[in-house]
């Protein structure tokens, strides 16, 4: 055929979904699959309360919920969200500083594709797949990263971040995911202030993916970008997929801070908006629901109960896994994932793919090109032998072998 796929897209695989294909094959053979791989609370079995469903029915009564919205999103919802930021008292924004997207995944793709291909946004390692995939798809380069340290409860290596920022002029922005996916790490105010200091000192903008900002436990609270940013230009990314939870709505937004402080940053945000214009707007319906859902008298208790549930699961998982030999496990304090890495003893154990079902073995080899990392071998083995489906750690752009499981 007279076509070839785009170079930037070749070789990229979305492992969070790849392993699902194998799990589904096993399910067809009658195996009970335990889905520890996905970040969709609804698929994991959480029930949507009736009051939420009635709000959605009410909104559907308004014909405007069927209409296009302005490119930046429904004005009344942007007013509501801007007011929420302003009430925190540290920064002032207007509804014009908020832009809606079709899911945060969409916002992330546009954040990377709106900078020059030779400019980089340095990101944590491991990192949530959509960020590094957006970077690789846009720039055809592996991302520039700073390490989260599994031997220090996934605390970031700030010295490494500063060293890299200092020595690579191509770095124009810093990404923080707080609370973090895949590690469940919650950044302290002190660490965040250090990151803001670095951004200010080296003239960088900040991107904070805060989709889990209301999902923290074990006494932790998210210090948000708007609390500590001062006069540094930055973007907070938020969404409804995890918190409400409504991942099928495909609805997320950017809050742009200090747009007037830097002319290049202003042009960057404008470039994002120009891209957004080409698709007219994001889905109107979920945007209209946001203020009504958040202001419902049941909402706070509903969220609190869900978070308490994650806290319980996280502590059960940690207490079981912390004493298991050959792995390094950290307590999680936010989001709903736990990442476990193998220690040196396991890394030295070189063996071939230990999956006994020939068709599954060949399917896995086809998916992975036969060149399968140690932790993928482990994940597929765990799946084929027990039905437990986890995500291999190397799928999060890291050489640390291990796996991520959902609480």
For ligand PLP, the closer CB: 37 or 377: 37
For ligand PLP, the closer CB: 330 or 374: 330
* Other beta carbons within 10 Å of 358: 8
Q: Which residue is nearest to ligand PLP (CB)?
A: 103
* DSSP run (H or E) holding 338: strand 337-342
Question: Buried (b) or exposed (e) across 110-146, using 16+ Cβ within 10 A?
Answer: bbbbbbeeeebbbbbbbbbbbbbbbbbebbeeebbbb
For ligand PLP, the closer CB: 240 or 360: 240
Query: Six-digit token pair at 13?
Result: 């695989």
Closest residue by Cα to residue 113 from 135, 145, 143, 141: 135
Secondary structure of 2-47 as H, E, C letters? CCCCCHHHCCCCCHHHHHHHHHHHHHHCCCCCEECCCCCCCCCCCC
Phi, psi of 372 (to 5 degrees): -105, 125
For ligand PLP, the closer CB: 204 or 249: 249
Output the CA angle 210-212-215, nearest 5 degrees: 140
Q: Closest separation between CB of residue 24 and ligand PLP, Å?
A: 20
* Other beta carbons within 10 Å of 28: 8
Q: Closest separation between CB of residue 200 and ligand PLP, Å?
A: 24
Q: Closest separation between CB of residue 105 and ligand PLP, Å?
A: 3
For ligand PLP, the closer CB: 130 or 222: 130
Q: Closest separation between CB of residue 190 and ligand PLP, Å?
A: 22
List, in sequence order, every beta strand (DSSP E) within 95-184.
98-101, 120-125, 145-149, 155-156, 171-177
For ligand PLP, the closer CB: 183 or 368: 183
Q: Closest separation between CB of residue 273 and ligand PLP, Å?
A: 19
Q: Closest separation between CB of residue 121 and ligand PLP, Å?
A: 14
Residue matched to tokens 């979920």: 286
Q: Closest separation between CB of residue 73 and ligand PLP, Å?
A: 14
| Burial group, residue 197, by CB count within 10 angstroms (0-12, 13-18, 19+) | middle
- Judge contact between 342 and 373, C-beta under 8 A: no
For ligand PLP, the closer CB: 147 or 361: 147
Strand 155-156 to 234-239 pairing:
unpaired
Residues facing residue 253 across a β-bridge: 100, 238
Secondary structure of 46-68 as H, E, C letters? CCCCHHHHHHHHHHHCCHHHHCC
Q: Closest separation between CB of residue 133 and ligand PLP, Å?
A: 11
In the complex, which residues of this chain contact ligand PLP (CB under 6 A)?
39, 103-105, 128, 130, 177, 181, 209, 211, 239, 241, 247, 252
Q: Closest separation between CB of residue 211 and ligand PLP, Å?
A: 5
Residues 191, 177: Cα–Cα separation, whole Å: 13
- Judge contact between 138 and 119, C-beta under 8 A: no
For ligand PLP, the closer CB: 39 or 392: 39
Cα 265 to its chain centre, rounded Å, is 23
For ligand PLP, the closer CB: 52 or 360: 52
Q: Closest separation between CB of residue 368 and ligand PLP, Å?
A: 22
For ligand PLP, the closer CB: 105 or 234: 105
């Amino acid at each position: 055929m007279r076509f070839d796929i785009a170079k930037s897209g070749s070789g990229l695989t979305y492992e969070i979904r790849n392993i699902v294909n194998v799990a589904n094959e096993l399910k067809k053979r009658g195996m009970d699959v335990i889905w520890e791989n996905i970040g969709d609370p609804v698929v994991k079995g959480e029930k949507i309360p009736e009051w939420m469903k009635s709000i959605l029915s009410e909104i559907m009564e308004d014909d405007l919920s069927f209409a296009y919205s302005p490119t930046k999103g429904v004005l009344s919802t942007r007013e509501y969200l801007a007011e929420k930021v302003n009430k925190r008292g540290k920064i002032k924004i207007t509804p014009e500083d908020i832009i809606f997207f079709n899911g945060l995944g969409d916002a992330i793709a546009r954040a990377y594709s709106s900078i020059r291909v030779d400019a980089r946004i340095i990101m944590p390692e491991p990192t949530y797949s959509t960020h590094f995939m957006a970077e690789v798809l846009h720039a055809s380069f592996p991302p520039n990263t700073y390490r989260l340290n599994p031997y220090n409860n996934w605390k970031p290596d700030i010295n490494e971040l500063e060293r890299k920022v200092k020595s690579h002029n191509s770095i124009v922005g810093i990404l923080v995911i707080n609370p973090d996916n895949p590690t469940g790490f919650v950044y302290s105010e002190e660490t965040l202030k250090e990151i803001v200091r670095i951004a200010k000192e080296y003239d960088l903008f900040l991107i904070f993916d805060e989709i889990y900002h209301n999902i923290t436990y074990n006494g932790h609270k998210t210090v948000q970008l708007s609390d500590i940013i001062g006069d540094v230009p930055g973007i907070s990314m938020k969404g409804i997929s995890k918190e409400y939870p409504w991942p099928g709505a495909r609805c997320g937004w950017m809050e742009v801070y200090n747009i007037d402080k830097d002319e290049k940053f202003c042009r960057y945000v404008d470039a994002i908006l120009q891209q957004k214009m080409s698709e007219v707007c994001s889905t109107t319906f979920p945007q209209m629901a946001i203020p009504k859902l958040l202001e419902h008298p049941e909402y706070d208790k509903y969220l609190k109960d869900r978070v308490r549930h994650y806290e319980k699961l996280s502590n059960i998982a940690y207490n079981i896994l912390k004493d298991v030999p050959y792995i390094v496990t950290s307590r999680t304090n936010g989001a709903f994932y736990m990442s476990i890495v193998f220690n040196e003893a396991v890394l030295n154990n070189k063996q071939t793919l230990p999956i006994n079902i020939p068709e599954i073995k060949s399917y896995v080899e086809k998916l992975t090109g036969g060149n399968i990392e140690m932790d993928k071998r482990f994940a597929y083995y765990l799946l084929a032998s027990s039905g437990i489906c986890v995500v291999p750690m190397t799928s999060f752009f890291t050489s640390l072998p291990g796996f991520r499981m959902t609480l």
